[in-house]
Structure 1
Amino acid sequence: MKKPELNITPFVDIMLVLLAILMVSVTVSTYQEKTVNLPEGSKTTPAAKKPTITITIKKDGSVIVNKEQIPMKNFLEEFNLKYGNFNKNSLVYIAADKNIKYQTFMKVYSAVVKLGFTQIGLLTK
């Protein structure tokens, strides 16, 4: 007596075709949600932008703070007089020439930190 053979190839072919049809039909159908009628919120003014301080240290060692030159030899005192009353959460950006001495940069940076500014960013290209 001959043993019966089980051939599942036609079954797999039919399942693959059904799977392809299912995948195409699911991606074509779109889900529509009922429109939601939202309540009105309070009308507020947009948040005020924080004032920023931009410090530029040039190649020759001169320091410009918000388009105003400050002498380097007494930078801490001058910076404190002009910007000491600013909000300490103000953004402070330091843009330094890549050829300046590290000591020059650290003098400016430490002055800003000593005055209590916490959000200091270093600008790069």
Structure 2
Amino acid sequence: MAMGLHSQGKARRGGRSRAPMAEINVTPLVDVMLVLLIIFMVTAPLLKAAVPIELPESRAKAMSEEAAQVTISIRRDGVIFFEASPLAPGELLDRLASVSPEPDGKMPLVTLRADKALDYGRVMEVMGELNRAGFTSISLVTDVSGG
């Protein structure tokens, strides 16, 4: 209604009777943004678990994630991964030495993901290397069961 008011009683050049529309329809933009949001929400957890391992189950409550953390994964065959890259035997300490402390001087949190079929001694060896490198805050990652 309000669009047509400004053109009443005036003769337009070129015979045009409508003014150009200066509104933007944001509905398609919102639709696209919601679809992208859903895609990112679905894929973000998959990016975190780049090394496929079978985690042991636990009924513990899930902890909140910290911004500065390092993920160490141990696959069923004993291969150790720093974030998503595999390490050669004995390379873990060198990689841990390259991790810089947080601004407050603390070392970042280490999340240790180990396959449930691994020997307990192998997991303890890796935890010992983490401790020797100065990482004292270590979280063991498990699969949270619904029961």
Where does the alignment leave 5 or more consecutive residues of structure 2 unmatched? Answer: 1-65
Structure with the larger RCO, 1 or 2 (CA within 8 Å, 6+ apart):
2
Instruction: Return the alpha-carbon distance in structure 1 between the equivalents of residues 112 and 141 of structure 2.
Output: 6
For 1:63-74, list aligned pairs within 5 A. Answer: 63-71=80-88, 73-74=89-90
Aligned counterpart, 1:51: 68
Per the alignment, in what secondary structure is the counterpart of residue 60 of structure 1? coil
- What is the CA RMSD across the aligned residues, in angstroms? 1.6
1:38-68 CA distances to partner (integer Å, 9 max, x unpaired)?
xxxxxxxxxxx74211011111111111111
How many angstroms does 1:85 deviate by? 3.9
Instruction: Return the alpha-carbon distance in structure 2 between the equivalents of residues 112 and 104 of structure 1.
Output: 13
Per the alignment, in what secondary structure is the counterpart of residue 59 of structure 1? coil
Shift >3 Å, 4+ stretches: none
> Percent sequence identity over matched residues?
29
Q: Taking structure 2 as the reference length, what is the TM-score of the superposition? A: 0.45
Q: Is contact 1:57-1:63 (8 Å) kept? A: yes
Q: 2:122 aligns with which of 101, 104, 107?
A: 104
1:78-115 CA distances to partner (integer Å, 9 max, x unpaired)?
22322214215201000101100112111111000001
Letter in 1 for 2:69: T
Q: Is contact 1:50-1:91 (8 Å) kept? A: no
For 1:16-31, list aligned pairs within 5 A. Answer: none
Instruction: Return the alpha-carbon distance in structure 1 between the equivalents of residues 140 and 80 of structure 2.
Output: 15
Instruction: Return the alpha-carbon distance in structure 1 between the equivalents of residues 67 and 133 of structure 2.
Output: 17
How many angstroms does 1:70 deviate by? 0.9
Kindly tell me: are residues 65 and 85 of structure 1, through their superposed partners in 2, closer, same or farther at Cα, counting changes over 3 Å? closer
Q: Does 1:83 align with 2:105?
A: no
Q: Taking structure 1 as the reference length, what is the TM-score of the superposition? A: 0.53
Letter in 1 for 2:130: V
